[in-house]
Amino acid sequence: MDHEFSPSAEIRAFDGRKLQGLEVTITCQHTNDKNSDQYVSLEKIPGYDFLHASGWAGQVLGEKDEKLKRKIVSCYLMQATNGGRSDRRHYNTYWAYFNDERKDRWSGKEAMGVMGAVLGLSGDDHRADVVLEFEDFTLESSAWDFERPQEWYSEIHKDKPVFRFVDGFYENAEKAVNAFRQKNHDDIFGERYFPVLVFPVSTPRDKVNGIIWRPKVTSDPILVGDFVVYGTRCKPHEYQEVIEGTYEAGGKVPIGVEWSW
């Protein structure tokens, strides 16, 4: 099976206009210290299980755990808030938001590395917030599943010389583990290891997913020819399990390559 990039097909097909007029259930949760504002959460909508909206209602709507019925007046996407928003326009669909203009802006920041993040405007172009408007309040939710297409990340990095793997791969997990055991890098969080994991695109998705969640941090996938590549940042107790799992799944670790992109 060829590699499938995230997010899911359901999210890519999202159109907020289809939710207009739909009655949904909202659960009241805690209030603030002044009992003037209440946190609420949207319960799962059949066919829209990926839509996890929650936030402050701006008023108290009911007792804790009370369930309310509300009709959606409108639903749209906005730039994910991060220190504010540099783009406050409303977008009806996933692809209207993740358009060519946003791709170019995000790609420019990504190419600059850390400086791109430092010098970038407020707001996150690689994510979208889902906004649900009801008659008496609005929910703006950080919808973590609404992220930029992973293939954008792959397109930026896939042609870099590091992915030519000129020194080949460790013959087995034991040799790879021993190589990393002899070197480590300290970052601001302490001792860390950065093995790169390479899987054939035919590797079953569940096997890959069973490994890439184990490191402290894992990069988005990069499609390089017939392989899918992940960079990892592992704590000392993680890297051996990650490397061994990679070889058990049919993957391998390149010699002399660490996550540095």
Helix (H) or strand (E) holding 114: helix 114-119
Helix (H) or strand (E) holding 207: helix 205-212
Helix (H) or strand (E) holding 174: helix 173-181
The pLDDT score that the predictor gives to residue 203 is 95
The pLDDT score that the predictor gives to residue 2 is 62
Average pLDDT over residues 40-58: 91
For 35-49, the DSSP string reads: SS-EEEEEPPBTTBT
Residues 164 and 124 both lie in one domain: no
Residues 120 and 40 both lie in one domain: yes
DSSP reduced 3-state for 243: helix
> Which of 95, 120, 148 is a domain's end point?
148
In a domain, 81, yes or no: yes
> Which of 110, 128, 148 is a domain's end point?
148
The pLDDT score that the predictor gives to residue 141 is 75
The answer to whether 160 and 101 have CB atoms below 8 angstroms apart is no
The mean-pLDDT minimum among 5-9, 111-115, 236-240, 244-248 falls in 111-115
pLDDT-based confidence at residue 190 (cuts at 50, 70, 90): confident
pLDDT at residue 168 greater than cutoff 80 = yes
The pLDDT score that the predictor gives to residue 11 is 95
Residues 138 and 187 both lie in one domain: no
pLDDT tens-digit readout, 79-111: 998 888 889 999 999 999 999 999 999 998 887
Report the percentage of the chain scoring pLDDT > 70.
94
Angle between helices 100-111 and 150-157 (to 10 degrees): 50
Which of 119, 131, 125 is CA-nearest to residue 107?
A: 125
Average pLDDT over residues 171-196: 89
Mean pLDDT of the chain: 91
Residues 118 and 35 both lie in one domain: yes
Which of 157, 39, 155, 14 is CA-nearest to residue 93?
A: 14
Residues 122 and 209 both lie in one domain: no
- State how beta strands 190-192 and 185-187 pair: antiparallel
From the number of C-beta atoms within 10 Å of its C-beta (0-12, 13-18, 19+), residue 243 rates as: buried
In a domain, 223, yes or no: yes
pLDDT-based confidence at residue 113 (cuts at 50, 70, 90): low
The pLDDT score that the predictor gives to residue 1 is 42
E-state strands within the chain: 23-31, 38-42, 54-56, 67-71, 74-80, 124-133, 138-147, 185-187, 190-192, 196-200, 217-218, 222-224, 227-233
Residues 129 and 203 both lie in one domain: no
pLDDT tens-digit readout, 2-17: 678 999 999 999 999 9
Give me the domain span that covers residue 25.
9-148
From the number of C-beta atoms within 10 Å of its C-beta (0-12, 13-18, 19+), residue 134 rates as: middle
The answer to whether 16 and 72 have CB atoms below 8 angstroms apart is no
pTM of the model: 0.84
The pLDDT score that the predictor gives to residue 249 is 97
pLDDT tens-digit readout, 127-147: 999 999 999 999 987 667 899
The pLDDT score that the predictor gives to residue 16 is 96
d(CA 132, CA 140): 7
pLDDT-based confidence at residue 116 (cuts at 50, 70, 90): very low
Tokens coding 143: 């919808």
**Considering its fold, how many domains does the chain have in total?**
2
> 48 Cβ partners below 8 Å, 6+ apart?
19
Residues 36 and 122 both lie in one domain: yes
The pLDDT score that the predictor gives to residue 140 is 83
pLDDT at residue 189 greater than cutoff 90 = no
The pLDDT score that the predictor gives to residue 52 is 84
pLDDT tens-digit readout, 197-206: 999 999 999 9
> Which of 148, 178, 207 is a domain's end point?
148
Average pLDDT over residues 61-74: 97
